[in-house]
A and B are shown apart, each in its own frame.
Chain A
Amino acid sequence: MSWHVDARTWTGYRAGALSDAAAASVETHLLACAACREVPASGATPEERALHERSWDALGSAVDREPASAVEGLLGRVLPPHVVRLLAAAPALRRAWWAAGTALLALALLAAHLGTGTVGTALFVVTAPLLPLGGVALAYAAVDDLAGDVATTTPYPRFRLLLLRTVAVAAVTLPVTAVLALALPGGSRAATLWLAPALALCALTLALSARADPRRVAAVLTLLWLAVSWNVLRPSRLPLAVDGVLDRSLAFRPAGQAALLCVAVLAALAAVTRRTTFEDRSRR
């Protein structure tokens, strides 16, 4: 730095008496010279200094704000920025995963409209609950993997982070699935049967992740779900209506649906009451 702002230049700058070029030169110099920035601050009251610091921080914050993704932008409209920052780190909210998940359901939906629609509808109600389950598992894995021990040793509760991401994944995947389900040819019953298992699988993943790796939990639950609902996908020798096909699995009968909702509630309660065990698992 070859020069500093002298007293006369300061006086002129404060009074707005400098030419545009001279004022711009002073401002450019101030950006790089901490000593000269202190000169006007030294004569300021504590309130003025605090205001200056806040303005400077806000300006820096605005400059540092990075372009948000579409999902971040959407979330930013309804949630505080720090919550958006936590959610946006989850791979489940990333575009590639979304495209794959939605494409799977779109395919099932297409299949539902082919032929009688029975096989496609069955495929849809079996695969739809796995979409939020996959998202939740990916979101949980991100909690453990994203920053490793850095995240583990911060004061932010692991359970709260898991819950936040579960809600975020559910809040985005469930409406998308619901909209797709409305287009099913099987009527309103077929369009709602995926919801209870989806809630139960998400809640079970949350509860069991206190004790085991979320990805393993999700894999085991996926296999269990496919085993339970397999009868629906099994070919039939006699032509069956959609309702007849769905009734072949207990999971889609009224009693099974009620049981799945109970599982969802109990698993969520268990997760909340045992939330401190989520911290302990990462310390083993």
Chain B
Amino acid sequence: MTLPVALAGVGKRFRGTTALQDVTLELRPGVTGLLGPNGAGKTTLLRIVATALSPDAGTVRVLGADPADPAGRLAIRRRLGYLPQESGAYSGFTAFSFVDYVAVLKEMTDRSARHAEVRRVLDAVGLGDRAHQRIRALSGGMRRRVGLAQALLGHPDLLVLDEPTVGLDPEQRLRFREVLAGLPDDATVLLSTHLTEDVAALCPTVVVLDSGRVLFHGETTALAALADGRVWDAEAPDPRAAVSWRTPEGRFRNVGSPPPGAALVPAGPEHGYLLLTGSTAAEQVAS
């Protein structure tokens, strides 16, 4: 079986800063979450997979094609849906006309069929009743959903979503999960987030990236298992903990090497993630 995404030894530098270093990844159909602190290289990795950026080193295969080859890149783009971090939606457009514009760029030339598809994706993200409102008049969350709608055009085989849940309220986040759940089983979704609850709710597999390197790639349950027996609550931050933070109950949750007799709590993916990435990620989770 051809893997939807296969990266080998991929590296990328921007003006002396290393964004990605020797990244090797193989993704299978299904939803994969990409977790990492700010500046970990998530967006760079997603842009490379989405053919928006070429790597400095390594090989990339997406949907069985080579994005470095013009014909391969075209074949990938015909089966790709991409939501960048900044979707750059032209604020003078209505939601409908912007998605329609992208639909034309996706080679949908028949107007009736294209409009039907635009309505479908806008309905899917809950914007059917806002379709003819100018984008500048929409809230941040709604603009994000316009971006998501354009990514869903044409039932893509590969969806690359950069921080899709940013700006969404809990109800919209739930709707987003329903949209992903409604995708065909053979579709591949790679989404980045810094919210571990998104990963727990959406992603059977997860990749943890930090400082441009892959720290973990496996099932989300395996990420949680990394922290089994290593999460405990105490009255004060424990010096044996790699990271500690104050819980809403006023106690301190510690992740690291617990002392004997510590009040252990069940571990989740966020605890495994914190063990891997340390204090940088802890600051983001606490915030």
Q: A residues touching B (Cβ–Cβ < 8 Å)? A: 54, 57-58, 60-61, 64, 66, 80-82, 85-86, 89, 145-156, 161, 276, 279-280, 282-284
| Contact yes or no, A155 B107, CB < 8 A | yes
| Contact yes or no, B109 A82, CB < 8 A | yes
| Contact yes or no, A85 B82, CB < 8 A | no
| Contact yes or no, A61 B70, CB < 8 A | no
Give the residue name and chain of the B residue nearest to A59 (CB): B112
Contacts of B147 in A (CB 8 A): 150
Chain A interface main SS type: helix
| Contact yes or no, B52 A154, CB < 8 A | no
Contacts of A149 in B (CB 8 A): 47, 50, 52, 82, 84, 86-88
| Contact yes or no, A153 B111, CB < 8 A | no
Name the residue in A80, A82, A282 with the highest tally of chain B Cβ atoms < 10 Å from its Cβ. A82
The reply on B113 being an interface residue by CB < 8 A is: yes
| Contact yes or no, B104 A82, CB < 8 A | yes
| Contact yes or no, B131 A153, CB < 8 A | no
Give the residue name and chain of the B residue nearest to A146 (CB): B90
Query: Once bound together, how far apart are the Cα atoms of A254 and B113, in whole Å?
Result: 53
**Could you say which of A82, A145, A283 contacts B53, with CB atoms under 8 Å apart?**
A283
Smallest beta-carbon distance A41→chain B, Å:
16
Q: Mark B78-96, 1 if CB is under 8 A from A, else 0.
A: 1010111011111001101
| Contact yes or no, A153 B80, CB < 8 A | yes
**Could you say which of A85, A146, A155, A161 contacts B74, with CB atoms under 8 Å apart?**
A155
Give the residue name and chain of the B residue nearest to A94 (CB): B92
Give the residue name and chain of the A residue nearest to B119 (CB): A60
Give the residue name and chain of the A residue nearest to B122 (CB): A64
The reply on B285 being an interface residue by CB < 8 A is: no
| Contact yes or no, B106 A154, CB < 8 A | yes
| Contact yes or no, A57 B47, CB < 8 A | no
Q: B residues touching A (Cβ–Cβ < 8 Å)? A: 47, 50-54, 70, 73-74, 77-78, 80, 82-84, 86-90, 93-94, 96-98, 100-102, 104-109, 111-116, 118-119, 131-132, 147, 150
Q: A146-B88, A149-B47, A149-B50 are in contact. Are A85 and B100 (CB under 8 A)?
A: yes
| Contact yes or no, A284 B84, CB < 8 A | no
| Contact yes or no, A148 B51, CB < 8 A | no
Contacts of A283 in B (CB 8 A): 51-54
Give the residue name and chain of the A residue nearest to B89 (CB): A147
Q: A57-B113, A148-B88 are in contact. Are A153 and B107 (CB under 8 A)?
A: no
Give the residue name and chain of the A residue nearest to B46 (CB): A149
Query: Once bound together, how far apart are the Cα atoms of A152 and B111, in whole Å?
Result: 22
Smallest beta-carbon distance A37→chain B, Å:
15
Smallest beta-carbon distance A87→chain B, Å:
10
| Contact yes or no, A154 B113, CB < 8 A | no
| Contact yes or no, B104 A156, CB < 8 A | yes
Contacts of B104 in A (CB 8 A): 82, 85-86, 156
Contacts of A161 in B (CB 8 A): 105
Name the residue in A85, A151, A279, A280 with the highest tally of chain B Cβ atoms < 10 Å from its Cβ. A85
Query: Once bound together, how far apart are the Cα atoms of A273 and B100, in whole Å?
Result: 31
Contacts of A80 in B (CB 8 A): 109
| Contact yes or no, B87 A148, CB < 8 A | yes
Return 17 A-B CB contacts under 8 Å, by A number.
A57-B116, A60-B116, A64-B96, A64-B115, A64-B132, A66-B96, A80-B109, A82-B109, A145-B88, A147-B87, A149-B84, A150-B150, A153-B52, A153-B80, A155-B74, A156-B106, A283-B53
Smallest beta-carbon distance A176→chain B, Å:
23
- 10 further interface pairs, Cβ-Cβ under 8 Å (given A147-B105, A153-B77, A283-B51): A60-B115, A61-B112, A64-B96, A82-B104, A149-B88, A152-B52, A153-B50, A156-B105, A283-B54, A284-B53
Name the residue in B50, B51, B147 with the highest tally of chain A Cβ atoms < 10 Å from its Cβ. B51
Give the residue name and chain of the A residue nearest to B80 (CB): A153
| Contact yes or no, B115 A86, CB < 8 A | no
Contacts of B89 in A (CB 8 A): 147
Contacts of A150 in B (CB 8 A): 82-84, 87-88, 102, 147, 150
Closest 5 CB pairs of A and B: A148-B88, A154-B105, A61-B115, A149-B84, A57-B112
